[in-house]
Structure 1
Amino acid sequence: MKLLKSIMDIRLDFNPLIPIDDICFFDIETTGLSRDYHNVYLIGLLFNNKTNNSWTLIQLFADYIEEEERILLEFVDRVKDFQKLVSYNGDSFDIPFVKKRLHKYGHNWENVESVDLYKYLRENKSLIDIPNLKLKTVEKYLGIERIDFLTGKECINLYKSYVNNNSDHLLKAILQHNYDDLQYMPHLLKLYNLLEDEKTVRIESADPNVILHIDNIAFIGNNLVITGKYEPSFSIPWMYYQPFYTINMNSENAFNLTVEIKKARLSDDILADIADIRLIANNNIKTDLSPYDTPKGILVLRTGNNIYIKNIKAIVENLFLTHYNNRQ
């Protein structure tokens, strides 16, 4: 087994909402997709050094398939002190794969809390304009341009050749593929920041200022249902039931807003969920912020899989302020 250590100079141009001090990014390389019949031959771990803000990459490499158990146990031992494991599609692939292979050797792994950036982006994909969630596509969306000289499948063939001849050239190529994937993974936290900001409504005209964070947006029948958390706490919970909407701010800092919506055809091939703000809001909402040309008083909330979060946030802010001063 080889244990290789590299120091990386990774500079982030943003302040991650997920603290980087106690997290470990990781990525595995396998000989195939089957947890039952294929093996883990390389595991990369990347973490921030609190003292000098550099990053350390540890790569655990199995010179032979028979060393799989050793690198798995070394991985488990090295990540046990981190609060979170961060990956890209780790909940569906990396973590179940590692657990299955460990179980084969008679070991169990109670992993730490997982942050799967792919899963998070998939759940919020309707809020960003991105064609797909392939790692290279997401990196390009963030302005990261890199040339990937090898695919994961090509690395499998290189590894099989390496096992037979222990070529340093092959080893370097395999390690570089894993190195590149992990080098850029911390930058993906920027999308987490951007999406969390997209789902946050800051009401600075309230006294004190109020922050509402949208956790879920659901289109249920003829209703738009928005749920989330708010701060600071209110001494008295409040709720309002109106003909075309309801708003509930409960004592546990959770809010629920339900708004009546309609279907409308914007063109022959575009069907939309819309809200008529003349029925639910005062005159503070002036303009539809979707890319469509709509009649005055109409907000487009969704077309297909695209959600127009700015219009939804405008409704949340408007209805909150409508009743905020009358909440006693």
Structure 2
Amino acid sequence: MRIENSFIPVRGVGETTERRLWEHGITHWDEFDGSVVGETLAGRIESFIDEGWDHLDRGDVSVFADRLPAASRWRLYENVRADTCFLDIETTGLDATRNDVTTVSLHRAGETKTLVNGRDLTGERLATELEDAALLVTFNGQRFDVPFLETCYDLDVSVPHLDLMYPCKQIGLDGGLKAIEGQLGIERDLPDIDGREAVRLWHQYERGDDAALETLISYNRADTKNMKPLLETVTNRLHDRVFEAACATR
């Protein structure tokens, strides 16, 4: 499903109205003809479509991210797949005012980079890595990863953000990232390492164990890379449930 199939970013259009449009064959912006809804709402939709094409031509999905509920931002992915950045962080604790970020991994266009505290992990480097991303994808990053980075590095992360935890819940996938991967059969290296072990590995590295850092980096990179197949599974399932199911009733 693409943004051009969506009408809920329009003020006054909820899921019920959007579904009614789809059921009447208006499944794409190009098919909107002012029917099905009232004149005032039709005018809003037409204005939204005109402005929407301009945003898409620039590769800017921020206006749609701002207007979509968190659980519906999966609709952004297909439009900016090539410029999507998957991000995950490791920290020494849960309080950004007292604890530190140890590693940050970013996966984009098939490549994964890991920034390490004390080496190349700086606010400037993070800002540079994120500035070209059209969409940022995390798991529980809305509540944890992004606020943690903003606090520790005085950043303002303004990239449109899709937190995978919310669309996962929509299709009954609950729990942490590793638990959901297990439900879907997504395999990973180092399956026995968890957040507590990640903290221990960092402290071990601080005591001079470089191998511990390499293990921590591998764990952090797996968290980041595995979000891509998870997102694609989730978007496919939600596409079928939300969009195809409505179109099938025509």
TM-score (norm 2): 0.62
User: Runs in 1 of length 4+ with deviation above 6 angstroms?
Assistant: none
Aligned to 1:284: none
Aligned counterparts of 2:93 and 2:117: Cα–Cα separation in 1: 15
Give 2:150's match in structure 1, choosing from 99, 103, 113. Answer: 99
The answer to whether structure 1 residue 139 and structure 2 residue 181 are counterparts is yes
**1:197 is aligned with what amino acid?**
D
Aligned counterparts of 1:59 and 1:110: Cα–Cα separation in 2: 18
The answer to whether structure 1 residue 25 and structure 2 residue 80 are counterparts is no
Aligned to 1:44: 105
Aligned counterparts of 1:110 and 1:191: Cα–Cα separation in 2: 24
Aligned counterparts of 1:196 and 1:170: Cα–Cα separation in 2: 41
Cα–Cα, structure 1 residues 79 and 137, in superposed 2: closer, same or farther, change >3 Å? same
TM-score (norm 1): 0.48
Q: How many residues align?
A: 172
* SS of structure 2 residue aligned to 1:200: helix
User: Deviation per CA, 1:32-74, whole angstroms, max 9, x where unpaired?
Assistant: 00011011111000001xxxxxx111100114xxx68x43321
The answer to whether structure 1 residue 183 and structure 2 residue 225 are counterparts is yes
1:275-314 equivalences under 5 Å are none
Aligned to 1:118: 165
Aligned counterparts of 1:90 and 1:133: Cα–Cα separation in 2: 14
1:47-196 equivalences under 5 Å are 47-48=108-109, 55-63=110-118, 70-103=121-154, 108-122=155-169, 124-125=170-171, 128=172, 130=173, 132-146=174-188, 147-165=190-208, 167-189=209-231, 190-196=233-239
- Sequence identity percentage: 27
- CA contact 2:106–2:114 (8 Å) conserved in 1: yes
Task: Return 5+ residue gaps in structure 2 as ranges.
Answer: 1-76
**2:162 is aligned with what amino acid?**
V
Aligned counterparts of 2:244 and 2:82: Cα–Cα separation in 1: 28
Aligned counterparts of 1:94 and 1:110: Cα–Cα separation in 2: 11
Cα–Cα, structure 1 residues 202 and 137, in superposed 2: closer, same or farther, change >3 Å? same
Cα–Cα, structure 1 residues 59 and 19, in superposed 2: closer, same or farther, change >3 Å? same
**2:181 is aligned with what amino acid?**
E
Larger Rg computed on CA atoms: 1
The answer to whether structure 1 residue 34 and structure 2 residue 95 are counterparts is yes
Aligned to 1:200: 243
Alpha-carbon RMSD across the aligned residues, in angstroms, is 2.2
Cα–Cα, structure 1 residues 202 and 173, in superposed 2: closer, same or farther, change >3 Å? closer
**1:20 is aligned with what amino acid?**
R
**2:166 is aligned with what amino acid?**
K
Task: Return 5+ residue gaps in structure 1 as ranges.
Answer: 1-15, 49-54, 204-210, 213-316, 322-328
- CA contact 1:26–1:43 (8 Å) conserved in 2: yes
Aligned counterparts of 1:78 and 1:17: Cα–Cα separation in 2: 21
User: Deviation per CA, 1:193-213, whole angstroms, max 9, x where unpaired?
Assistant: 21221112457xxxxxxx38x
